[in-house]
Amino acid sequence: MENGSFNIDSIKEFFAHNMRQAISVAVVAGLVVVMGVTAGKGNSTVAEQTETTEVATEAVTETEVSTEFKVDEYPAVNELINNYYSAYANGDTDTLASIAPPLSDMEKSYIAMFSEYVESYQNIVCYTKQGMESDSYVVSVSLEIKLKDADTTAPGLDFFYIRTNEDGSLYIDNVYSQFNLSNQQVEIDKDVLNFINAFEEQDDSVALQESIQTAFNDALSNDENLNTLVTSTIPAAITNWSAEMAEQAKQAEAEQKAAEEAAAAAEAEQKAAEEAQAALAEKYANAVTVYVTEKINVRESASTDSAIIGQLTAGSTTTLLEARDDGWAEIDYSEGVIGYVKQEYLTTDASGTATTATDTTAETTTDETAAATDANGLAEGTVITIQTSTNLRESMDSNSTKLATIFQGEKVTVIMSYAEGWTKVSYGDKTGYIKTDLLR
């Protein structure tokens, strides 16, 4: 989720914490508060104050919390708090974002869910003290919340840390809302947190909490519908909402991981392509012109089993890019088309090329029909019935990988016989090598 991951346990802890303090149902449900981050400007200037909002000019430290509440003495503070609760009751996240920025996607979802149960916030009273900075305030807010389907309002208590913008207007710093203090989605300044703790532990703060606790308990005792809403209906809604949020967070995490993996794969592919391009560029930079000694096939890859993409005639020239250790040469066959030929038919000496071309390519004459010049070879296409069960090998080596066991009476088709005493055959959908003596 935005500004951090969603944590159901944190929400439940927040719920339980506020239940113990008997804070308003909105706060009990985790919704009177707004999660956000500071605007980053609140400490830059001291706002021009009116007669009723004048405060001390020196900053207050966490150990110097004002000793007395100022009850509804700052009109600008009261206006901000009243606007906040009005927007909250209506689910107006645009207004909330402007006076308590920013609202995360999770918080917006929370507001949408909870505002369905809220009719209004009433009898709002601000108990205000000086904040850590000269242009900031700590405010305890007592209020009554009117829930739909309940006759009795529920008393509650909430907390706000208010700062001043550069233009002198006030905003709620929701880094220190009950929601974020419980969920830690935005980093918290420990000095400010210590200041808030000192504020809430003062005698007048404790007395205010206790009086609201008593009034809250009385309201639940006197209104069965209110009690059901607070202890059953709203907690159930929170549980359902939490499950949906957790699933969305899990899906978002999976999508992000998939996107990161795809990006990493694309980056690796791009890097490999760039490296291959650089390597090819280096080959071209060091390329040499060579002469073809006999008519030869140009292959798609360095193997006589690969597709033929063209031919070079005896006496023609080509561009040698790399002479490989396996006896093949990588060439520029035609304007950037890469092909492979046997190195033995290339030379840098123009006088060493053949003067006439033959109809049969050197590659075929030398490699693929070597067995045809051997009196003991087997003709291509000959179908042979196996007389003694034998193994089909991957290469002309008794220690090479066994591709299959061919049993007595089964048939193979000769592809090519070699002077080394092996014959290449096809067996079903497999192609491999068998000792020629075993085929006679």
Q: Against a cut of 0.75, is the pTM above it? A: no
16-59 pLDDT tens trace: 444 333 334 333 333 333 222 222 223 332 233 333 333 333 34
Range in 24-33, 299-308, 316-325, 345-354 the model is least confident about: 24-33
Q: Is the pLDDT of residue 113 over 50?
A: yes
Tell me the Ramachandran region of residue 347: left when phi exceeds 0, alpha when psi lies from -120 to 50, beta otherwise.
Answer: beta
Question: Where along the chain do its domains lie?
Answer: 8-253, 288-367, 369-439
Fold match between 8-253 and 369-439? no
Alpha-carbon distance 199 to 372, whole Å? Answer: 102
Q: What is the pLDDT of residue 53?
A: 33
**Residue 74 contacts residue 128 (beta carbons within 8 Å):** yes
**Residue 397 contacts residue 376 (beta carbons within 8 Å):** no
Residue labelled with tokens 């561009």? 319
Alpha-carbon distance 349 to 364, whole Å? Answer: 23
53-111 pLDDT tens trace: 333 333 444 446 667 899 999 999 999 999 999 999 999 999 999 999 878 788 888 88
**Residue 321 contacts residue 332 (beta carbons within 8 Å):** yes
Fold of 8-253: Nuclear Transport Factor 2; Chain: A, (3.10.450)
**Residue 172 contacts residue 80 (beta carbons within 8 Å):** yes
User: Confidence band (pLDDT; 50, 70, 90) for 350?
Assistant: confident
Fold of 288-367: SH3 type barrels. (2.30.30)
Q: Is the pLDDT of residue 186 over 80?
A: yes
Q: What is the pLDDT of residue 10?
A: 53
Q: Can you count the helices (H) and strands (E) in the chain?
A: 11, 18
Q: Is the pLDDT of residue 235 over 70?
A: yes
CATH dotted code for 369-439: 2.30.30.40
Q: What is the DSSP string of 186-215?
A: S---HHHHHHHHHHHTSHHHHHHHHHHHHH
User: What is the residue type of 413?
Assistant: T
Percent of the chain clearing pLDDT 70 (strictly above)? 79
Q: What is the pLDDT of residue 118?
A: 94
238-297 pLDDT tens trace: 999 989 988 988 999 999 999 999 999 999 999 999 998 998 899 899 999 999 999 999
Question: Residue 427: exposed, middle, or buried by beta-carbon count in 10 A (0-12, 13-18, 19+)?
Answer: middle
User: Confidence band (pLDDT; 50, 70, 90) for 421?
Assistant: confident
CA angle, residues 131, 136, 141, in degrees to nearest 5: 75
